Amino acid sequence: MPQLVCSSEAMAITTGAASSCAAAHIPTPTLYGADILHVTANLVQNYSATVSEEYNYNHPSSVVTDVDFCNITITYTHPGENDTINVQAWLPLEWNGRLQAVGGGGYVAGLFYLSYVAMEGAIGEGYATVTTDAGLGTSYAPDPWALVSPGNVNLYNLQNLASVSLGDEAVIAKDLIQGFYGQPPKYSYWSGCSQGGRQGMMLAQRYPDAYNGIAAAAPAFNWGQFIPACSWAQVTMDMMNSFPDACELDAITAAAVSECDALDGVADGLVSDPDACSFDPFTMVGKVINCTQTGINMTVSKAAAAIANATWAGPRNAEGGFLWYGPYPQARLTGATENVETTSDLGYAMTSCRNGTCVGVPTGLGEDWLEFFVAKNSSWTYKDITSVAEYADLFHASVQQWDSIIGTADPNLAAFQAAGGKMITYHGLADGLIPTKGTTDYYNRAVKITPDLNDFWRYFQVPGLGHCSGGNGGQPTATFQALVDWVENGVVPESLPISFNSTEGVLNNRILCPYPKKATLKSKGADPTQASSFVCK
């Protein structure tokens, strides 16, 4: 954990900042191209919270005890755009001299539950922390803000989500810190996953001077391709008019893991070398399985195998040509259709079955994108797609119209490198919402432009990890601290520690290696539960 400022300095900051936590005493930030509408502030005292790593990506679990901070909200607009954006900052009275901005999730830019969990963790370590709603509110779906009228996308709202609010947020946060503490942050960081990961990548690409360090996990970039691809499994099931029971799809996933588990030389319930996995889901057709959810036996259908195969392969056009990547076979195809807590509970091919009738349950990510931003019609649904050719046309329209705005896929990171920035990305190999291969594709394109990419960006693939958290392979909770050590002390993250419990309850300590290296046993027979048994090759 980063050290707080020395006690005498901390005391001076505490005394001055506490008395300054009133809107009348806070200098109004200056933001070119914007009008500040109002500033609110209130002093929060003795704040305590338990922060779970399951929701605070890049960080370990922590306990926050009796923290005093100034809660400031800046509301502003870009004149002529009819937007109203809120930036909220928590400025702890005992400040460690650093800024940590946190990201959003789904279609939410921030200022929602996951942002607040991350902010709790940040103030517990003494960081000033900030989030923005990009003027969109906190609806998981884009319904409230996507269209200004039928057929017309609200381009200002989309631009705010894509990039504009991110640059604004960094300027406002640093201005607030200067005014509140009387000094700028010594170091500034970004931390996020999923949408937060995409935001981090956008910052590196478009606002390279905004942050010294960026932790951008499971980034939702390649938006023009990735986001419509999220609908591929549901569209396929609908066109087939076949919606397999979750037990069938789970059985296929389990069989794939069983066959491909030991390809890396270690049988541990994880597919650590998924590119070597050539499991054929059609080998499961006709197998009788016991469905624990229903307590009855059922037979794996050809339709279930076809859905699994199509989902893993990713969307294709009518000629079978590649459109985008699918998830790896260990990723869950199914998911929770009720009481969903995080996106790691979701899967592309979710169905719900009652009284012998099954229906598709979309995640809403790709389906909503096609509805509001491609069809631009709130009365249209993905169920209106009648052919693969029609789907491919919609997919192409998504890339053609929106990639330059929110694609976040520019592989040229030269400006970020020149600014001295450092970035760490992790992505689970069992991510069922954002295909890991999309991040690998971006890395491979970026390294062609910048051969010394590893000097400032490290990308770690995580066996068994679901979307941001969850799964069987553990979560890389040391990510953010490794970033801080790299930025401030020049400690290059040659590996990241990770641990998980096997299905037998045995604790495994491992290492993650920066792509393209893989964690490999030093010798045959070495203890796979010990990190010291592995080396990056």
HEC sequence for 420-477? CCEEEEEEECCCCCCCHHHHHHHHHHHHHHCCCHHHCEEEEEECCECCCCCECCCCCC
Nearest-angstrom CA–CA distance, 352 and 191: 35
424 shares a domain with 337: no
Nearest-angstrom CA–CA distance, 528 and 268: 9
What distance separates the 2 farthest-apart alpha carbons in the chain?
73
The percentage of residues in the chain with a pLDDT greater than 70, rounded to a whole number, is: 95
Residue 146 included in any domain? yes
181 shares a domain with 154: yes
User: How large is the average pLDDT for residues 5-18?
Assistant: 48
Residue 519 included in any domain? no
pLDDT in tens, 153-178: 999 999 999 999 999 999 999 999 99
Q: How many helices (H) and strands (E) in the chain?
A: 14, 19
Residue 240 included in any domain? yes
318 shares a domain with 234: yes
Residue 508 included in any domain? no
What CATH number is attached to the domain comprising 38? 3.40.50.1820
Cα-based distances in Å from 109 to 142, 162, 230: 11, 9, 19
User: How large is the average pLDDT for residues 409-430?
Assistant: 98
- pLDDT value at 43 more than 70: yes
Token output for 279:
């499991």
339 shares a domain with 392: yes
pLDDT of the residue at 8: 39
Token output for 105:
């999730």
End-to-end CA distance of the chain: 29
Q: In the structure, what pLDDT confidence band is assigned to residue 340 with cuts at 50, 70 and 90?
A: low
Phi, psi of 354 (to 5 degrees): -140, 130
**Cα–Cα nearest to 391, from 519, 236, 262:** 236
C-beta separation of 111 from 135 below 8 A? no
CA-derived radius of gyration, the chain:
24
Could you tell me which residues come within 8 angstroms of residue 126 by beta carbon, excluding any fewer than 6 positions away?
A: 2, 4, 5, 92, 94, 95, 96, 98
pLDDT of the residue at 293: 83
Nearest-angstrom CA–CA distance, 535 and 512: 9
Query: How many CB atoms neighbour CB 199 within 10 A?
Result: 33
**Which of helix, strand or coil describes residue 130?**
strand
pLDDT of the residue at 338: 59
pLDDT of the residue at 377: 98
Residue 77 included in any domain? yes
Pairing of strands 85-92, 296-299: unpaired
318 shares a domain with 257: yes
Nearest-angstrom CA–CA distance, 441 and 325: 10
**Cα–Cα nearest to 123, from 222, 6, 1:** 1
Token output for 430:
């069992």
pLDDT of the residue at 16: 60
pLDDT in tens, 290-310: 998 888 899 999 999 999 999
> Where does residue 2 rank: exposed (0-12), middle (13-18), buried (19+ CB within 10 A)?
middle
pLDDT of the residue at 76: 98
Query: How many CB atoms neighbour CB 112 within 10 A?
Result: 18
Share the mean pLDDT of the chain: 94
pLDDT of the residue at 279: 98
437 shares a domain with 371: no
427 shares a domain with 461: yes
C-beta separation of 92 from 128 below 8 A? yes
pTM: 0.95
Pairing of strands 98-102, 187-193: parallel
User: How large is the average pLDDT for residues 29-57?
Assistant: 97
What amino acid occupies position 176? L
* 391 or 335, higher pLDDT: 391
Could you tell me which residues come within 8 angstroms of residue 141 by beta carbon, excluding any fewer than 6 positions away?
A: 107, 364, 368
Could you tell me which residues come within 8 angstroms of residue 178 by beta carbon, excluding any fewer than 6 positions away?
A: 184
C-beta separation of 318 from 389 below 8 A? yes
470 shares a domain with 452: yes
- pLDDT value at 7 more than 50: no
481 shares a domain with 438: yes
Residue 436 included in any domain? yes
- pLDDT value at 343 more than 70: no
Nearest-angstrom CA–CA distance, 514 and 503: 26
Provide the β-strand partners of residue 530: none
Nearest-angstrom CA–CA distance, 51 and 101: 17
C-beta separation of 468 from 57 below 8 A? yes
Residue ranges with strand state E in 115-234: 128-132, 147-149, 152-153, 187-193, 213-217
Domain that holds residue 304: 226-403
364 shares a domain with 252: yes
Cα-based distances in Å from 198 to 106, 202, 351: 10, 6, 28
Number of domains into which the chain is organized:
2
- pLDDT value at 37 more than 70: yes
471 shares a domain with 348: no
pLDDT of the residue at 10: 42
- Domain boundary among the residues 403, 425, 442 is at 403
* 230 or 295, higher pLDDT: 230
**Cα–Cα nearest to 342, from 464, 232, 466, 245:** 466
pLDDT of the residue at 18: 73
- Domain boundary among the residues 354, 382, 403 is at 403
Residues recognised as catalytic: 194, 431, 467
243 shares a domain with 193: no
Token output for 115:
């942002």
Residue 265 CA from chain centroid, whole number: 30
**Which of helix, strand or coil describes residue 86?**
strand
Residue 523 included in any domain? no
Helices within 43-85 (DSSP H only): none
DSSP assigned state of 276: G
Residue 511 included in any domain? no
Nearest-angstrom CA–CA distance, 474 and 465: 6
